[in-house]
Structure 1
Amino acid sequence: MAKSLKALVAEARSRVDAISPTDAHKAARDGDVILDVREPVELDSDGAIAGAIHIPRGLAEAQADPDTGKANDALTAKRGGGGRVHVLCASGARAALAADSLRQMGYEATVIEGGLEGWKKADLPLKD
């Protein structure tokens, strides 16, 4: 049976934990990473999180896999117990799918509740 995007996201969310923007920000200061899976145009128009790793959703698995030759070193350092990855997008759907994929790849990944809007509502820092 074919699944809708809504069903795929719901299944992914059932397998990954969520974290508040404030707790994710604190965890990042302690060594975890924030992974923003929005597209570059979204970063330009809506703002980017200071200190976050920015990898568009379509490239997340390739850059999370150290064997692809395209890996992001800051991200792969967290694989297999090296710390947590807190994933963010605009609303949470792409973040849930990415966090679930990362979990299957050996990462401890969470979804940042509320996406970028939640981050902004918590009055957390963005890049200047």
Structure 2
Amino acid sequence: MAQTMEEMVETARAQTKTASPQDAHDAAAAGHVILDVREPGELQQDGCVSGSLHIPRGVLESKADPDSGAAEAALTSRRDDAGIYVLCASGARAALAAHTLCQMGYDAAIIEGGLQAWKDDGLPVEGAS
């Protein structure tokens, strides 16, 4: 049966852990990874979480697969030893990305509310124009 994007996001959220921005910030301070899956233009316009790893949602699977030939070592090297806290603008792409990462063997969680919630909590952001 075909699903809408909204249904896919709902399913991903139901099957994936979530974390508040503050909890994700604290986890990053303890050595876990903040993964930003927004597009490069969004980072330039809205800034990014200090110290985050950026991999756009559209190429995530190839970057997360250590055998793909296009793997991102900063992500794949952390597969077994760190939680991955996934962020986008509002949460939909992060839900899909975190769900995918869990299916690929990562310990991933969605950062609730995305970058806007991060900013609303007064957490560090750099590079906003």
| Band the TM-score falls in, shorter-chain normalisation | over 0.9
The letter for the 2-side match of 1:49 is V
Provide the identity percentage.
55
The reply to whether residue 115 of structure 1 matches residue 114 of structure 2 is: yes
Q: TM-score, normalised by structure 2?
A: 0.95
Deviating beyond 2 angstroms after TM superposition, the runs of 4 or more aligned structure 1 residues are: none
The letter for the 2-side match of 1:3 is Q
- Paired positions, count: 127
The letter for the 1-side match of 2:19 is I
Partner of 2:56: 56
Q: Distance in 2 between matches of 1:16 and 1:40?
A: 25
Secondary structure of 1:3's counterpart equals coil
Q: Distance in 2 between matches of 1:75 and 1:127?
A: 21
Structure 1 residues not aligned, in runs of 5+: none
Q: TM-score, normalised by structure 1?
A: 0.96
Structure 2 residues not aligned, in runs of 5+: none
Partner of 2:101: 102
Q: How far apart are 1:41 and its partner, in Å?
A: 0.5
Q: Distance in 2 between matches of 1:126 and 1:72?
A: 23
Q: How far apart are 1:127 and its partner, in Å?
A: 1.6
The letter for the 2-side match of 1:102 is L
Q: How far apart are 1:20 and its partner, in Å?
A: 0.5
The reply to whether residue 18 of structure 1 matches residue 45 of structure 2 is: no
